[in-house]
Structure 1
Amino acid sequence: MRYFSSILFVALLLSLTTGWTQSIPSPKEHFGFNIGDDYKLATYTQTEAYFKKIAAASDRVKLVDIGLTEEGRHQYMLIVSSPENIKKLDRYKEISQKLARAENLTDEQAHALADEGKAVVWIDGGLHATETVGTHQLIETIYQLVSRKDPETMRILDKDVILLTHANPDGQEIVTNWYMREPTPEKRLLDNLPRLYQKYAGHDNNRDFFMLNMKETQNIGRQLFVEWIPQIMYNHHQRGPAGSVLAGPPYRDPFNYVFDPMMITGIDALGAAMINRLNGENKPGFTRLGGSVFSTWYNGGLRTTTHFHNMIGLLTEIIGDPTPEDVPLVPKRLIPNGNTPFPVTPQKWHFKQSIDYSLSLNYAVLDYAARQSDQLLYNIYRMGKNSIERGSKDYWALSPKRIDAIEEAFKNDPKKATPPTNAALAQYGMIPRGGGMPVKYYDTIMKAPVLRDPRGFIIPQNQPDFATAVKFINALIRTGIQVQQATADFSVAGKKYPAGSFVVKTDQSFRPHVLDMFEPQDHPNDFQYPGGPPVRPYDAAGWTLAYLMNVKFDRILDGFDGPFRKLPYGELQSPEGHITGTPTAGYLLSAKSNNSFIAVNDLLASGIDVYRMPNGMGGKSTVESGVFFVPASAKAKGLLDKSAKEFGLEITGLAKRPTTSLAKVSPMRIALWDTYGGSMPSGWIRWMMEQYHFPMKIIYPGDIDAGDLRKKYDLIVFVSRAIPPVGGKEEDVFSALSREPKPENTPAEYQPRLGKITATKSIPSLKAFLEAGGTVVTIGSSTNLAYHLGLPVKNALTEMTASGQDKPLPNEKYYIPGSVLRVNLDSTQHATWGMANQTDVYFDASPVFKIAPDAIARGLVKPLAWFDSPKPLRSGWAWGQAYLQDGVAAFVAPVGSGKLYAFGPEITFRAQAHGTFKLLFNQLYMVGTGSQTDSDHAAGE
């Protein structure tokens, strides 16, 4: 009897325990409010705890820690599916990988896997933390999926594997604490956040997805491109165009020409499902196509990078804040059309409405995936297979420059028929019916052997900065690209390559991304109407990463093979460094290698002497101007042994001291400008400084206005949008700054960040700093400082009016959004040491200067980089680029005892432009003059 009672007790206990584990806590029970309640936001600390509760309570959930954030928080992904599917996640992940990579599969095998697999759908939230709908819809969606038992939800759980991912934990904590600090709910506002909501990149965290510099983007990238490779990814953002509720798919042209067309039409299909769901639920205000600015041209965003991996990448931009707002009256948006079939009328808008819309959109996507799971799985295979086939044979891609070439061939053909007067020839195919050109002009261009797409790319191991080339390779590997490495020396097309060289072939499923990283982007001439103003690209027009990183590679047009080892997907590479020669006298570190600066900074921090050789070194061991020399010592040897291995440096040991001139290197007291709210370009440089071990201090406008800068700093760096134009309305140019709060409304810890650079107070302080021997480096629009100081330079991009006045060229004549251009350099100058005589720069409507010849002759200004061609465009869009010829892109000018460096291009752009990092790094040391002495050498011990 006692035994029987014990069994009953255990059974009852198990029943109670099971019941508890399946009791799903609602958001109201956990947070104390419903998701979408006005004036209420959840912190990440609260959200993380809720995720863990949900995972513990539901057998529909697996909680996955995908890595740490830049501020050290855990970043979570919740995998949601049926309990049966949760038990088989490894198998469904394997199927998703196999179909996405499309390697060694027949169509029959792919269909079988598609039938067995589950559609994998990614939904994220919170990437841009001030866009609070994203994080909170994620919380509500998780709750609904794990608690509901209606037929639609059960079908979704049965057919889908859902990856619900928090994209920016740090940002949610920052933004929520800022909003909720106000005790009176009605006074709560998201405005005037005092710092970036991602430690370094802020809003640019959504511009890091082909580079993957940040920890959060690395975490996300691994799940998207290496681990799960979902068929659909849905990226939630804010905000929709004024007068609408949200913007969503499909998107406006242009789309990138490397895409598989099935990806574009896949977006169309999902977009139809999403807008139909909202319309059926009487939720108006969805705009698409030309109703918004969003396109599918750009690579680098969380959504857009997936497009280059054959994923159906979705973006919605919705209105809504915890503080109620108004849908404004925009009369033109009240007319139904193809962009906005169901307009929204002006009204008061509450946070809950945006949450409800987002939930409907998520369910539309998940229901489509459940109903079409086998098709989605097969289609990603088919797109991958198409890429493999295109990369395995001669293939010619269409693009605007090819179309222009066809038209030019027709125009310049003296033997062309005169259409359409001789109608009789049309029946023989010589003149197409209905107009057009004879097909031979297409064949002239689109079958020309030299115009084929490449079969692959070879990155030689013996290039000047192989360590940076490896960083480029790792960017590819992080995005799921198949990379191979030579295990022995080999030859292709008559050229020899050493072992260790990398090979990236285009016969792989993610071929669109491979091409986009190596090949130039050819953005169309996109104008509102013929002769009218240009339509600004959504982000950059050109970004070819191999160009920006100055990676040396060969573009191979024919099929090739060799002693190549396929690297495992996702396996990052490390360059092998060595110390060669006999370092009895010292060591040489190449000025061409960016990583040399890390080693030098570590040496200087340890008190070891370092020199530069302004004239290089001749003889059999010819080395470039600016090479670093480190006298031999036991301490130096220990550090350099470590640096060679860790940073992939090829360090040369010298048996004899150099006889050429040596200039001693000393660290500088470096200041980097920033502002209240945080500057993204400054944040990127801050991250770079940390990566390359440059010590620096962040300063704000108030620090500059306080004066006595020379007592504290040797060099100050100003990124774009720091220095206002001469005579400009500063509040117009720096709108974010003009909205900063009053000191009395700002927490004490952030008050020192308030203020802005002004012509009346800041510029005189900077001038005094320069005249006292300080150095200022300006980048982009902050080269305005040259005009404030009255230097003999002018804007090169102007035209003369009828009254004889200069005015900026209008966009109809000259327009260059973010693109890659080529400039010339004098690599013997200190500022350009370690660089070739030509380099690619990132140019975004950047300043270009005209310098009077006598100013150069008198040493008042020295050009550092200039355009010597009427066609400097390398990648992107450059309308009217001929205006750039002979313009100066960068210069240095003495100001009193100091120096002003002005770099018009974005030389540190998003920490991607490794090829021009040295234009900053070279300026960050004090470099003496004269020859090394014995006392110098002794000090190095």
Structure 2
Amino acid sequence: MTSRFFSLVFAFIFIVGSSLAEESGIADLTHPETYFGFMPGEDRKMFLYEDLIGYLDLLQQESDMVHMIENGVSPMGRPMYITFVSSAENIANLDRLQEINRRLALDGDIPTDELDALVEEGRAFVLVTLSMHSTEVAPSQAAPLMAYNLITGTDSNPAHLDKVVFMMVPSHNPDGMNMIVEHYNRYLGTPYEGSGLPGVYHKYVGHNINRDFVTLTQSDNQAVADIYNLDWFPHVLVEKHQMGSTGPRYFVPPNHDPIAQNIDERVWSWTWVFGSNMARDMTARGLKGVSQHYLFDDYWPGSTQTSAWKNVISLLTEAASVQLATPIYIEANELQVWGKGLSEYKKSINFPAPWPGGWWTLGDLVTYELESVYSLVRTASLHREEILHFRNEMCRREINKGLTEPPYYYILPAKQHDMGELQALLRLLERHGIDLYRMDTDHVMEGRLIREGDYIIPMAQPFRAFIKEVMEEQDFPVRRYTPGGEIIRPYDITSWSLPLHRGLRSLEINTYYSHENLNYSPIRAEELTHRRGLPGDANWLLFSARYNQSFGFAFRAMAEDIQVVRTVEDYPWHEEIVPKGSFLVGITRGNRSTIEALLEKIDIAPIVFAQEPDVATERIRLPRIALCETNFHDMDAGWTRFLFDSYGIPFTVLNPSDFKDVSLDDRFDVIVFPDAPKDQILHGHMTRAGEVFVPFYNPGYIEGMGNEGWQKVLRFMANGGTVVSWANSTALFFGLMSPGEGEENFRFPIRDISGTLTGNGFYCPGSLLKVNLLPDHPVTYGMQGQIGVFHRSSPIFATSIPNFDMDRRVIGLFPEDEDLLLSGYAEKVYLLERQPAIVWLQRGEGQAVLFSFAPNFRGSTPVSKKLIFNSLLL
């Protein structure tokens, strides 16, 4: 009888379910396997971005539970989309639900009755961003099944979609997705199946796409950040990644210490709820190897999870990789753990069901991704009301903190060394959803005169935590594994202060002033540009070397064959001095329209003259630049290309293997070596812990320049060429040089002493350090006398007295200063005192400029860009 009863129940459920499916059109949906011709996750099969978007677009045509909107464009011009999956009623009501999200996120004065009504009407929005790192293919390859299974109830409960709107960025990096899939298919069935893509999987930045969410330089990141900063205000965000192959199979929150101190404890508590439910639900479905509180900390902003500073419950998942879509077999002895949180690959409280080893496939990854999504939706559905109340509670709490806890304001004086960087910072803050204001009258705050026109950022804002995080100098929260024991080292960098990284003055005000006694008005960044048209009597334009954008104008003008000269002396202008090294351009009938078009690309205003100003100048010409970029996922070279493109600097990319065949003297004036290891540039291999290993690339892609290529670089320099090198690539200049047959061996008067200092306890994981610059030198034109530079422990220069036909000058050095560390974390930083940070070398007729730091680190250090620009113009 019992058996017959359950049979009848199941039959009834099947009939009702089938009827509902037919009524909602679910039965007519195209299955992903039918559309693609294979099941997503199948071994050695992947689809392209356009195919993915095509399927999701088909779903929205077939189902009223799916909606897509275009929300941006990739760096290579591909449209980017958000896909919404929810009940038909919710999809039809998205505009109203979006407005509710906005109110809950930004309005701290909603009356209780209205708040309860909004929460009752609202839905929990869960946003997942997929495969920003394009070699981490599984999330995007799982996307069609995520949408289809949620709609149809395959392995999930569709009733949850009554309370939840599932949002999906199907590919955070469309350009990289196609690069990887096309490269994989090219070598399918060959010994290089699953091998590395030569170059970065992005127009510019590759893996560093996940380090850009403070500075927002890349258009794909801007599109994703706009979702939670300005447009949709989701309540939960999940950033889906993959990790190494031989550790845990899957990571879910909570993350490991250290954590960001500015984020409210309630946000962290919610990450436990979602992470613990994922771990529980996935383990209950028989998925082994799920870990928590392991390896990944939650301290630095820069990833998509920067949303946590905007009151979004922000989560990270990481899945163990295969060779793209090729299965791998892992022996038990190869399984290991590293980093923080697990000391052994054994059953632990945060790793309760270790995976035993064996075959691991793309299909396994897809299964883990799907189960994690089902859990996320389920948790959001069960806690919908709490989550929506929480979002408005955080808005009110952050606004109240801004009224009751210091700091209360940040001030950006209107007069800055680089006015263009001030405009850029204000625009950036506005894109982050920050309200900006300008002083209407002078006011004394904490004994300092704040002038009319200065910019003020009150902290009583919903995104207070983010404002504080990016406006203050960073002070790393030291945590230890045991009392008095080893310090828990940071996962990534430790400095991101926007004013300091841009060389701007800012003031932190720790005294509250009532708005009645403090006169300021709201502004929009678009109102602040200094751009203006040319007056009719304009015949000469003078661009101050203090402004980064002046260099952009000069390079673009020279590229248009417009004559540009640089001043060789300071020029007094009213109450300011236009420094030596500034750019003077004459306007003619033939170039006027071009100059007017170029002025539209910058936010600064040149000084306009009817007559040529009485200042000494020298003519400059557009340098012919070779940029060395390896095929080892050379991110810093990509950032350098982005810098050059952004400032209109023409260049030619040379792979290291090209140097042997290219006539450097005939084609180039300057060679740039960005941050890349010497072994990759010279020999086409990599080293770890002093041991050489050959990475999994087609060998034809990674050939180095060899001794022959480097000898050509040395001859290029001796014959009058300029070489610019920074960070790891400066190792090319250390040790014995063998310029070739008939020439004497020599050493440049510079060496790296980082090994010695590191052995003595120096450690700097990525912090801003103080450097004094040599005044009145062509490399430092337009610079302040002291700046912060972004340093990562090595190299550390020491110079020596030169011989043969060589010379050297220290252009920048770390001063003797107890405040040498400006922002971030460092150990025994005093060991750097009096050591060079920038060195100019001369050999024969040529020269080199070497930086011990990356002056364009991840595009986040505008304060030191001019050092590169000036070096190109030597």
TM-score w.r.t. length of structure 1: 0.83
AA aligned to 1:778 is S
State the number of aligned residues. Answer: 827
* 8 A Cα contact 1:603 1:636, kept in partner: no
1:325 to 328, 345, 362: 328
Q: Which residue of 1 aligns with 2:512?
A: 559
Q: Which residue of 2 aligns with 1:933?
A: none
For residues 711 and 49 of structure 2, the distance between their equivalents in structure 1, rounded to whole angstroms, comes to 44
Q: Which residue of 1 aligns with 2:786?
A: 838
For residues 517 and 54 of structure 1, the distance between their equivalents in structure 2, rounded to whole angstroms, comes to 41
1:615 to 562, 569, 578: 569
* 8 A Cα contact 1:580 1:651, kept in partner: no
AA aligned to 1:456 is Y
Q: Which residue of 1 aligns with 2:407?
A: 454
2:732 to 785, 799, 802: 785
Distance 1:695 1:908, change over 3 A: same
Shift of residue 645, structure 1, vs aligned partner: 4.7
Distance 1:106 1:754, change over 3 A: same
AA aligned to 1:104 is D
For residues 573 and 369 of structure 2, the distance between their equivalents in structure 1, rounded to whole angstroms, comes to 69
Please say if 1:348 is aligned against 2:359.
yes
Q: Which residue of 1 aligns with 2:719?
A: 772
TM-score w.r.t. length of structure 2: 0.89
Deviations 1:110-151 (A, max 9, x none): 34322221001001212111111111122210111122278x
For residues 79 and 220 of structure 1, the distance between their equivalents in structure 2, rounded to whole angstroms, comes to 14
AA aligned to 2:871 is Q
Gaps of at least 5 residues in structure 2 are: 1-19, 337-342, 738-746
For residues 665 and 691 of structure 2, the distance between their equivalents in structure 1, rounded to whole angstroms, comes to 30
1:407-806 matched pairs, under 5 angstroms: 453-486=406-439, 488-493=440-445, 501-525=454-478, 535-560=488-513, 561=515, 562-567=518-523, 575-578=529-532, 586-618=540-572, 622-635=577-590, 637-654=592-609, 657-706=612-661, 708-724=663-679, 731-732=686-687, 738-739=694-695, 741-742=697-698, 753-758=701-706, 760-788=707-735, 789=737, 790-797=747-754
Gaps of at least 5 residues in structure 1 are: 1-14, 396-452, 744-750, 799-806, 927-941
- SS of alignment partner, residue 476 of structure 2: coil
Shift of residue 715, structure 1, vs aligned partner: 0.4
For residues 35 and 595 of structure 1, the distance between their equivalents in structure 2, rounded to whole angstroms, comes to 47
Shift of residue 738, structure 1, vs aligned partner: 3.4
AA aligned to 1:516 is E
Q: Which residue of 2 aligns with 1:225?
A: 229
Say what the alpha-carbon RMSD is for the aligned residues.
3.0
Q: Which residue of 1 aligns with 2:823?
A: 875
Distance 1:22 1:457, change over 3 A: farther
Q: Which residue of 2 aligns with 1:407?
A: none
Distance 1:856 1:512, change over 3 A: farther
Deviations 1:728-779 (A, max 9, x none): 9953169999325445xxxxxxx5x531244x23321211110011101001
1:112-131 matched pairs, under 5 angstroms: 112-131=117-136
Shift of residue 846, structure 1, vs aligned partner: 3.1
* 8 A Cα contact 2:198 2:697, kept in partner: no
- SS of alignment partner, residue 795 of structure 2: coil
Distance 1:129 1:104, change over 3 A: same
Deviations 1:781-828 (A, max 9, x none): 111132145222233445xxxxxxxx4532x71110011111111231
AA aligned to 2:792 is D
Q: Which residue of 1 aligns with 2:303?
A: 301
- SS of alignment partner, residue 89 of structure 2: helix
Shift of residue 607, structure 1, vs aligned partner: 2.2
AA aligned to 1:157 is L
AA aligned to 1:652 is I
Q: Which residue of 2 aligns with 1:361?
A: 372
AA aligned to 2:394 is M
Deviations 1:879-914 (A, max 9, x none): 110101101111111121111100111100111111
Shift of residue 107, structure 1, vs aligned partner: 5.0
For residues 873 and 295 of structure 2, the distance between their equivalents in structure 1, rounded to whole angstroms, comes to 44
* 8 A Cα contact 1:581 1:654, kept in partner: no
Distance 1:164 1:723, change over 3 A: same
* 8 A Cα contact 2:44 2:326, kept in partner: yes
Deviations 1:837-875 (A, max 9, x none): 0111111123221224x5599982111111112431111
- SS of alignment partner, residue 392 of structure 1: helix
Shift of residue 245, structure 1, vs aligned partner: 0.7
Distance 1:510 1:84, change over 3 A: same
Shift of residue 492, structure 1, vs aligned partner: 4.3
* 8 A Cα contact 2:480 2:487, kept in partner: yes
- SS of alignment partner, residue 615 of structure 1: coil
Q: Which residue of 2 aligns with 1:405?
A: none
1:878-897 matched pairs, under 5 angstroms: 878-897=826-845
Distance 1:336 1:754, change over 3 A: closer
For residues 217 and 506 of structure 1, the distance between their equivalents in structure 2, rounded to whole angstroms, comes to 25
Percentage of identical aligned residues: 25
2:68 to 58, 63, 67: 63
Shift of residue 583, structure 1, vs aligned partner: 6.6
* 8 A Cα contact 2:234 2:312, kept in partner: yes
- SS of alignment partner, residue 90 of structure 2: helix
AA aligned to 1:897 is E
Distance 1:70 1:550, change over 3 A: same
For residues 371 and 484 of structure 2, the distance between their equivalents in structure 1, rounded to whole angstroms, comes to 43
Shift of residue 558, structure 1, vs aligned partner: 2.4
Deviations 1:71-130 (A, max 9, x none): 111111111111111111111111112212243234554343222210010012121111
Distance 1:266 1:495, change over 3 A: same
AA aligned to 1:587 is L
* 8 A Cα contact 1:245 1:284, kept in partner: yes
AA aligned to 2:845 is S
Q: Which residue of 1 aligns with 2:277?
A: 273
* 8 A Cα contact 1:617 1:658, kept in partner: no
Distance 1:23 1:242, change over 3 A: same
For residues 538 and 368 of structure 1, the distance between their equivalents in structure 2, rounded to whole angstroms, comes to 29
- SS of alignment partner, residue 621 of structure 2: strand
1:863 to 810, 813, 817: 810
Please say if 1:809 is aligned against 2:758.
yes
Shift of residue 632, structure 1, vs aligned partner: 4.4
Distance 1:619 1:502, change over 3 A: closer
For residues 582 and 826 of structure 1, the distance between their equivalents in structure 2, rounded to whole angstroms, comes to 40
